[in-house]
Chains A and B, each alone.
Chain A
Amino acid sequence: MTDSAIEAEGLVKTFGKGNVRALDGIDMVAREGTVFGLLGPNGAGKTTAIRVLSTLLRPDSGRASVGGYDVVHHPERVRGMIGLTGQYAAVDELLSGSENLFMIGRLLGLSAPVARARATELLEAFDLSDAASKYAKTYSGGMRRRLDLAASLVGRPRFLYLDEPTTGLDPRSRLELWGMIRALVADGTTVLLTTQYLEEADKLADEIVVIDHGRVIAAGTPAQLKTRVGGHVLQAQPADPADLPATQSVLASLAQDGDEPYTDGQLVSLRIDDSSALGQAVRRLDEAGIAVDDLSLRRPSLDEVFLAITGHLAEDEAEADKEQERSRR
């Protein structure tokens, strides 16, 4: 087996007589057994990329292969290796949870008893046994996502595509889903994940490409991307909130290149290039007689990475592009 399990080269896909370039020359290589993250705001082209890689859409130009098979020339081969979980849960609402999974098992060629056993096994693994015979339309959002994920796993796919799997989920369901994804990867599944949550890519992905307007604007491991932005963020939390202004002026004395400390009302943060600043901060805060609850040096978040690469925050664009994405359906 090759190292590169999912490969794309110069993928282009346009919609609406070529006016909308949803994919504008995407290159990416995902290695087997890892989580590969496609990160970008709404309308960046993530879903289109997933649809091309799952053979639902033909690219206008460029090529892509999954497990060594070209998505255009051997789509059945590719379909036999992938599991797809869409942006909105694609479960059949008028079937029960177990009927949904049984149907997929039958479609994949399992005999009735094997399909039934597989359904039971997955319902158990995804904590849906109690709701097994209830109609999926009665499920909560989190339960639907779990059933959708279970449905994409019936055939034990080598490659699992998760298109914004946690969009719209509450924090607890999101954490649960993350745990399930990690367990699958530990079992050897290769996961292609799209997300607009920078934190999610940071937590789950081994490698990330950041895409915007159908182009790759950055690629690498989460750590590499953070290093690209450069430096660190120094954060101090005074024990007494009254000391906030004093803390801010102490940190200001450490600032370089016109950077200024900023506060959210509890923490004072400062972007720095030189990690020796931490020691100086300890000394100067002590000299100023300020007691701190917390003093830390951290890497910038992916939010800050996105801001540094594109010059705008991911959220700024989300609203404007939502319309565009919708009209494409």
Chain B
Amino acid sequence: MSTATATLSPVGKSDVIRNTLTIARRNLLHIKATPEQLVEMSIQPLMFLVLFVYVFGGAIANSSREYLQFALPGILVQSVAFLPFTTALALNVDFQRGVIDRFRSLPIARSAVIGGRILADGARVAWSILIITGFAVLLGFRFQGGAAGALGAFVLVTAFGLTMCWPMAFIGITARTTESVNTWGFLIILPLTFASTAFVPAATMPGWLQAFVKANPVTSVIDSARGLLLGGAVATPVVKALIWMVVIQAVFAPLAIARYRRRV
């Protein structure tokens, strides 16, 4: 061991980005150690896609091929909405194991721990979108909204995935156990994704549910993605989706960061 003891200089602003990247890299390395994560972000959404399209497709839309066109945007958004579970669970485990204590005792930017988490989850979200869309194309999905529409849909859905990381981060930091992370996460994400226009149009639902579906932020993201991927009116849903994303982040990012600072 070296005899030199050195005093490290305090964090500069440019270090924030480097710290964030280092922690994002660390989070992505976890995928190597837990191959289940790869299943969760690749095979699970594909399974959903195949099941929904071939089980319900004929009944809902007369043919599974037609239903694939309708359901892909919904399945994309649903898969992406579930991915931030990892944000919540991983933050929770990091707190319980004392890893966060170690990070906080280092002379690094405090925002880098959450930032790195969300950046890594952004990469996972983008990966899921590419896998699902690629597979859907193999099954016969056709982009009817052009390249610009497709690109716009990917950006929007990825942004939605990142947005959902904040409320999930809040849950992960607040909850004392991983079990309660699971409970709260499902209670919130499952109704949001199902009570939406993801799998069927809202027209057949009872009035009170239609009201919820209309107000649901997930619906606005799905309608936007559907419009962008299939061609159609997008202005209203996109504006609604963007407003929702800003609101969700404006509420939950400060809450999550405040919790992170205060949790001992």
**Chain A residues at the B interface, C-beta cutoff of 8 Å:** 51, 54-57, 67, 76-77, 79-84, 86-95, 99, 103-104, 106-109, 121-122, 125, 135, 137, 151-153, 155-158, 183-184, 187-189, 328-329
C-alpha gap A157/B4 in the complex (Å): 9
Count CB-based A-B contacts (< 8 Å). Answer: 109
B260 to chain A, nearest CB (A): 12
Contacts of B204 in A (CB 8 A): none
CB closest chain-B residue, reference A85: B102
Indicate if the CB atoms of A77 and B10 lie closer than 8 Å.
yes
Q: Is B8 an interface residue (CB 8 A)?
A: yes
A49 to chain B, nearest CB (A): 13
Q: Is B206 an interface residue (CB 8 A)?
A: no
B172 to chain A, nearest CB (A): 16
C-alpha gap A188/B6 in the complex (Å): 11
Contacts of A158 in B (CB 8 A): 5, 7
Indicate if the CB atoms of B107 and A79 lie closer than 8 Å.
yes
Contacts of B183 in A (CB 8 A): none
Q: Closest 10 A-B residue pairs measured CB to CB?
A: A90-B98, A76-B10, A94-B33, A80-B8, A80-B107, A79-B107, A84-B105, A94-B30, A106-B22, A90-B102
Q: Contact residue range for chain B?
A: 35 or more
Contacts of A67 in B (CB 8 A): 7
A80 with B105: in contact, given A56-B264, A57-B264 (CB under 8 Å)? no
Within 8 A of A (CB), among B9-32: 9-11, 15, 18-19, 22-23, 25-26, 29-30
A57 to chain B, nearest CB (A): 6
C-alpha gap A83/B19 in the complex (Å): 18
C-alpha gap A275/B18 in the complex (Å): 65
Contacts of A95 in B (CB 8 A): 26, 29-30, 33
CB closest chain-A residue, reference B33: A94
CB closest chain-B residue, reference A108: B8
C-alpha gap A184/B18 in the complex (Å): 30
In-complex Cβ contact of B8 among A125, A137, A155, A183 (8 A): A155
In-complex Cβ contact of B105 among A54, A88, A91 (8 A): A54
Indicate if the CB atoms of A103 and B105 lie closer than 8 Å.
no
Indicate if the CB atoms of A88 and B8 lie closer than 8 Å.
no
Q: Is B34 an interface residue (CB 8 A)?
A: yes
C-alpha gap A137/B6 in the complex (Å): 31
Indicate if the CB atoms of A187 and B1 lie closer than 8 Å.
yes
C-alpha gap A99/B25 in the complex (Å): 11
C-alpha gap A77/B106 in the complex (Å): 10
Contacts of A99 in B (CB 8 A): 26, 29
Contacts of A187 in B (CB 8 A): 1-3, 5
B43 to chain A, nearest CB (A): 20
In-complex Cβ contact of A103 among B3, B26, B264 (8 A): B26
In addition to A93-B97, A184-B1, 4 A-B residue pairs with Cβ atoms within 8 Å of each other are A84-B105, A90-B101, A103-B26, A121-B2
CB closest chain-B residue, reference A190: B5
In-complex Cβ contact of B5 among A125, A152, A183, A189 (8 A): A189
Q: Can you offer 20 A-B residue contacts whose CB atoms are under 8 A?
A: A67-B7, A83-B105, A86-B98, A90-B97, A90-B101, A95-B29, A99-B29, A103-B22, A104-B106, A106-B22, A107-B22, A107-B23, A109-B9, A121-B1, A137-B33, A152-B102, A156-B2, A158-B7, A187-B5, A329-B264
Indicate if the CB atoms of A80 and B29 lie closer than 8 Å.
no
C-alpha gap A83/B5 in the complex (Å): 12
Q: Is B108 an interface residue (CB 8 A)?
A: yes
Contacts of A84 in B (CB 8 A): 101-102, 105
C-alpha gap A104/B26 in the complex (Å): 10
A80 with B7: in contact, given A54-B105, A106-B22 (CB under 8 Å)? yes
Contacts of B5 in A (CB 8 A): 156-158, 187-189
In-complex Cβ contact of A88 among B10, B98, B103, B104 (8 A): B98
